[in-house]
A and B are shown apart, each in its own frame.
Chain A
Amino acid sequence: MSDTGPGNGWPPRRLEELARAECVRLLGSKSVGRVAFVAEGSPVVLPVNYVSSDGMVYFRTSTHNVMAAHLLDAAAAFQVDDVDEFMESGWSVLVQGWAEFLDPEVETEYGLERLAHRIEPWAAGARYLLVRIKPERISGRRLEPR
């Protein structure tokens, strides 16, 4: 093990902060991310499939789960990444902002109709709640071989 770089013989890595525009582009390139919020004082992190447009994040959930109970107008974080465990490299983008519930009947207002199939939840059951995370800050990092 090396303290100056990854072990297992890989060359050192370069950690690069990503510009906001690149973060927004990367957010739009993935379909599964993780949302974190606080429930009764403890953090919770759950995977969701989502769509993103202009840094906004949209996903659907059930009206009767832990997200429905704790996400309304709450501080939330949303994270997507693409990591290559073989190459020990990749990127991660973090959205910090606020969650709000939208009326799914009017999702055309948000320009989501074209993307709606991508936020069909994978799990069965009624998931009518449309959640949006509005970013206050978007940041990202990429780890690459030098």
Chain B
Amino acid sequence: MTSPRVLTAEECVRLLGREGVARVAICTPVGPRIFPVNYVCEGGDSIVFRTSPSSTLGTFAWGTEVAFQVDELDWTTSSGWSVEAVGRPVVVHDPVEIAELRGHGEPHPWAGGSREMFIRLRWKEIAGRSVGTAPLPQEPRDLRPADEDHSALSWHDRRKDHEGP
């Protein structure tokens, strides 16, 4: 067992930049809540996720402090890392900004539906820790199943061609 290591701000930003799925913790009048979201990282100083204006996140996840957390934890080796970014998110209203976000093709909510509210968190604090002996990931994330042939198609094509679950 090793002592937890405090990550540098640079390490935190790099790990957050791997994107994927995070959890947003918010304060509501009836206590804290946590929701998973998929997100994109922009410019090394903010993240953006989408929700519906009528959802709990759409109601309480902006204009007040939220905590945004990502981790990769491996039960088999008791290793992993966690990064938490804290700040006061804003709703993105600017059509140009929204068009740019859409142009990047992300973040697309997996659940689909009318999740038309873009929320941006420009964090004021970022902190992280790692435990265990496994090295921090250096490469961008690769979501492909390990047993797939990676050679022939681009990732995007492969997903398009996939027949589904």
**Chain A residues engaging chain B, CB cutoff 8 angstroms:** 1-13, 15, 31-32, 34, 36-38, 41-47, 49, 75-79, 81, 83, 85-89, 92, 94, 96, 122-125, 143, 145
Please tell me if the beta carbons of A34 and B69 are within 8 angstroms of each other in the complex: yes
Ordered by A's residue number, 20 sampled pairs between the chains whose C-beta atoms are within 8 Å are: A6-B108, A6-B111, A10-B162, A15-B113, A34-B23, A34-B34, A37-B32, A41-B27, A42-B27, A42-B65, A44-B25, A45-B67, A77-B34, A79-B35, A86-B143, A89-B110, A94-B33, A94-B34, A123-B4, A145-B164
Number of A-B contacts (CB under 8 A): 146
Which stretch, B7-15, B41-49, B73-81, touches the partner chain A? B73-81
Residues in B whose Cβ lies below 8 Å from that of A38: 27, 32
Please tell me if the beta carbons of A85 and B21 are within 8 angstroms of each other in the complex: yes
Shortest Cβ distance from A8 into B: residue: B159
With beta carbons under 8 angstroms apart, the residue of B25, B36, B141 that contacts A43 is B25
Q: Is B93 an interface residue (CB 8 A)?
A: no
Q: Quick one: which of A4, A15, A36, A77 has the most chain B CB within 10 A?
A: A36
Q: Quick one: which of A6, A7, A45, A49 has the most chain B CB within 10 A?
A: A45
Please tell me if the beta carbons of A123 and B32 are within 8 angstroms of each other in the complex: no
Please tell me if the beta carbons of A96 and B1 are within 8 angstroms of each other in the complex: no
A77 with B33, Cβ < 8 A, contacts A1-B108, A46-B82 known: yes
